[in-house]
Amino acid sequence: DTAVSQTPKYLVTQMGNDKSIKCEQNLGHDTMYWYKQDSKKFLKIMFSYNNKELIINETVPNRFSPKSPDKAHLNLHINSLELGDSAVYFCASSQLERGLDTQYFGPGTRLTVL
């Protein structure tokens, strides 16, 4: 009954490879997000997406791209992986409640680029 799930939990890969991380939510939420948490635990939003609008944090390299096959899924594709991409990536989802969303997070995917 996991609300927001991500796969894989761990991902180890070589520099230059292309990889994807999957995210699914069963909460019926309209909006999904991707966050990056660096080695100092700092969380930074990368994307937010609902079925009408994709908002990209301008600091995110265009090697990163979200893909949403349907409202319950938001996958993260990363091309030409670099060492600095090593981090924990969190997916989240939300639904507007009294004019503001409350975000619920997945368990995270730890990406290690060698």
Partner 1 sequence: AQSVTQPDIHITVSEGASLELRCNYSYGATPYLFWYVQSPGQGLQLLLKYFSGDTLVQGIKGFEAEFKRSQSSFNLRKPSVHWSDAAEYFCAVGGNNDMRFGAGTRLTVKP
Site for partner 1 in 24-83 (CB under 8 A): 31, 40-45, 48, 55
Q: Which amino acid is at 108?
A: G
| φ/ψ (deg, to 5) at 26 | -110, 25
Distances (CA, A) of 113 to 73, 79, 83: 24, 12, 5
Closest alpha carbon to 54 in 76, 26, 78: 76
- Please report how close the Cβ of residue 79 comes to partner 1 at its closest, in angstroms: 24
Closer to partner 1 by Cβ: residue 5 or 65? 5
Examine residue 104 and tell whether it contacts partner 1 (CB under 8 A): yes
Which residue ranges make up the site for partner 1 (CB under 8 A)?
Answer: 4, 31, 40-45, 48, 55, 90, 92, 94, 98, 100-108
